[in-house]
Structure 1
Amino acid sequence: MTKHADHGPHHDSAHGRHDRIGHGHRHDTTDLDWDVMGPLLEQNGELSSPQYTAAAHWIAGLPTAPQVRRVLDIGSGPGVISCLLAEEFPEAEVVAVDNTPALLERTRARAERLGLGDRVRTLYAELPDELAKLGEADLIWAGNALHHMGDQRAVLAGFAGMLRPGGTIVLVEGGLPTRQLPRDIGIGRPGLEARLDAIHVEWFEEMRAALPDAKQEVEDWSALFTAVGLAPQGTRSFLLDLPAPLSDRARDYVIAEFARRREAFAEELTADDLATLDRLLDPEDPAGLHRRPDLFLLSARTVHLGRRA
């Protein structure tokens, strides 16, 4: 159930999702080279981890925070957040739930490397069909996962039913589109990233419509919590602000994201925008991403909490 780099409709690599989630529909992932993709997804997750560390610390410090003994990380990818949650909740068993065996293996290796191997375990599951495999939890972390379920309300109700008394569901849904370049970059027509976002929004709507049992739902997460018997416990957004000049690691991430969008959106982009992207991706071009001194990384992720009485 590891999904694409999107967070409903923008991009998210913290769990390592790149257009290949199995939440209710299964994309063909057999042609992906996990020896290449796995390390990249893990590195990207580490880059974004300050946002999620701050979110987990906020949750743990709330007056209504449950005693966390068991955590489910839904759509865990390579386990960056699973291990982060294990560190934030030192008394808890953390279960990384995904449908990609290669990434579950990376999770196990990461946990061992960080000295968390006795508390982080993995579970292969296809959701929503195999919700019953997950068992009870005090904290369910659904990071940009719910919008890949056709019937979001039904799945959220399923999660709610797995919560122990006082337990919390954490939905990471929404935020702001990521920005990495100035509006006017000196080549092509200004506003390239906004146009890429518009194409992604259309893709997102088509993806949602094609899901099995897809139902349109107003994205009022507090209202949805109430509808499934949970008490809304607050919403906060967390910022990732890496100013220019970027580190080599962050620059590599930005280059990979632009290359992915260049490939994915080629048919929807204008000839002018394609030419601009080709220049941005050219390592020898002084105006390209490899050499630009004004490259930055700015994003916001929004976290919504619902609690079982």
Structure 2
Amino acid sequence: MAHDHHHDHHERDHAHHHDHTDSDWAGMAPLLEAQAELFTPLYTQAIEWLGAQVPEPELVVDAGSGPGVVSCLFADAFPGARVVAVDGAAPLLERARARAARLGVADRFGTLAGDLPGVLDELDHPADLLWASKSLHHLGDQRSALAAFAGHLAPGGTLAILEGGLLARFLPRDIGIGRPGLQARLHAVEEDFFTGMRESLPGSVAETEDWPALLTAAGLKHTGTRSFLLDLPAPLPAEARDYVVATLSRLREKAADSLDPVDRATLDRLLDPGDEASVHRRPDVFVLLAHTVHTAVRPA
């Protein structure tokens, strides 16, 4: 899985599609890893918030871990915990293990390969903290999956799901070319793609995305909801600019038929490295987004 874990590369869809081969995942892994590293300030804030709720977990499970960037952040934040990265893509878990070794946490870091939520049955122990970042929305029956996640919590254990928030903004409303408001229209296209992705999943069930209510229906007690900001102002460092280019390029590939000719031409200019108005060169490109985390506890 993961993701996420997506994995479609878009930050919202980065992991969890299983119609990819291992060679696909191996090729996508560096991009997924770079994106997660770019988002580290956001994840660090979320983990600090979780640490106040779950101060000394013994087992942390990252359900839909991708290449393990966040899994290793958990290992760093909770030095007494064992961390298990769970994903359906073996090449991504290979990178997760390599990262854990580089960071000196391999002795308390494990991986588990298989599809969520069933693969969680292979865990040796219930989790004190189960983290699912944008993995749930890649499962057709989210309500059933949440119940399965809840079933793998220790009494008093916490489930934290990262779902929703605000799509990334990269550009001012008026960028001096094309029609103002381009990115708002691109967001509308992304929302339609997301809806189509959900509808195409095996066993897809439409759900109102009231996460506290869904967590309560899974037998848990909702304990908090908080959003975390990634704010990378202009001028962007190279790795952030690369993320903008990659995201808009994938959107251009997917959205060609969904944009009017003016917006399509504007997006082409934005992606042309030789154009002074492109995101490769323009000085006003930024990254601003928010991810929302919902937490709930299994009654002791």
Instruction: Give the TM-score category using the shorter length.
Output: over 0.9
Q: Which residue of 1 aligns with 2:111?
A: 122
Task: Say whether residues 1:51 and 2:42 are aligned partners.
Answer: yes
Q: Where do 4+ consecutive residues of structure 1 move more than 6 Å? A: none
Work out whether residues 56 and 78 of structure 2, in 8 Å CA contact, stay in contact via their aligned partners in 1: no
Q: How far apart are residue 137 of structure 1 and its match?
A: 0.8
Q: Which residue of 2 aligns with 1:21?
A: 16
Q: Which residue of 2 aligns with 1:32?
A: 24
Task: Say whether residues 1:261 and 2:281 are aligned partners.
Answer: no
Stretches of structure 1 that go unaligned for 5 or more consecutive residues are: none
Work out whether residues 170 and 288 of structure 2, in 8 Å CA contact, stay in contact via their aligned partners in 1: yes
Q: Which residue of 2 aligns with 1:86?
A: 75
Task: Say whether residues 1:2 and 2:2 are aligned partners.
Answer: yes
Equivalent AA in structure 1 for residue 64 of structure 2: G
Work out whether residues 66 and 168 of structure 1, in 8 Å CA contact, stay in contact via their aligned partners in 2: no
What does 1:101-180 align with in structure 2 at a 5 Å threshold? 101-135=90-124, 136-180=126-170
Q: How far apart are residue 4 of structure 1 and its match?
A: 5.2
Closer, same or farther in 2 for the Cα pair 1:175/1:11, shift >3 Å? farther
Q: How far apart are residue 130 of structure 1 and its match?
A: 3.0
Partner SS for 2:66: coil
Partner SS for 2:28: helix
Work out whether residues 42 and 78 of structure 1, in 8 Å CA contact, stay in contact via their aligned partners in 2: yes
Q: Which residue of 1 aligns with 2:207?
A: 217
Work out whether residues 4 and 134 of structure 2, in 8 Å CA contact, stay in contact via their aligned partners in 1: no
TM-score normalised by L of structure 1: 0.91
Higher helix share: 2
TM-score normalised by L of structure 2: 0.93
Aligned counterpart in structure 2 of residue 69 of structure 1, from 51, 58, 64: 58
Partner SS for 1:266: helix
Instruction: Write the distance in 1 (CA, Å) between the matches of 2:32 and 2:103.
Output: 17
Partner SS for 1:265: helix
Which stretch has the larger CA shift, 36-45 or 90-99? Answer: 36-45
**Cα RMSD, aligned residues only:** 2.0
Q: Which residue of 2 aligns with 1:97?
A: 86
Q: How far apart are residue 29 of structure 1 and its match?
A: 3.3
Cα distance per residue 1:172-194 (max 9 Å; x no partner): 01101110000111111111111
Q: How far apart are residue 230 of structure 1 and its match?
A: 0.7
Q: How far apart are residue 235 of structure 1 and its match?
A: 0.5
Closer, same or farther in 2 for the Cα pair 1:5/1:287, shift >3 Å? farther
Sequence identity of aligned pairs in percent?
Answer: 55
Work out whether residues 5 and 16 of structure 2, in 8 Å CA contact, stay in contact via their aligned partners in 1: no
Q: Which residue of 2 aligns with 1:284?
A: 274
Cα distance per residue 1:113-144 (max 9 Å; x no partner): 11111112111011234332235211100001
Work out whether residues 11 and 178 of structure 1, in 8 Å CA contact, stay in contact via their aligned partners in 2: no
Instruction: Write the distance in 2 (CA, Å) between the matches of 1:202 and 1:127.
Output: 25
Closer, same or farther in 2 for the Cα pair 1:288/1:188, shift >3 Å? same
Task: Say whether residues 1:237 and 2:227 are aligned partners.
Answer: yes
Closer, same or farther in 2 for the Cα pair 1:106/1:154, shift >3 Å? same
Which stretch has the larger CA shift, 48-57 or 270-279? Answer: 270-279
Instruction: Write the distance in 2 (CA, Å) between the matches of 1:185 and 1:285.
Output: 13
Cα distance per residue 1:62-104 (max 9 Å; x no partner): 3xx2641111101111110000011111111111111111111
Q: How far apart are residue 6 of structure 1 and its match?
A: 7.6
Closer, same or farther in 2 for the Cα pair 1:226/1:66, shift >3 Å? farther
Instruction: Write the distance in 2 (CA, Å) between the matches of 1:264 and 1:278.
Output: 13
Partner SS for 1:246: coil
Which stretch has the larger CA shift, 46-55 or 199-208? Answer: 199-208
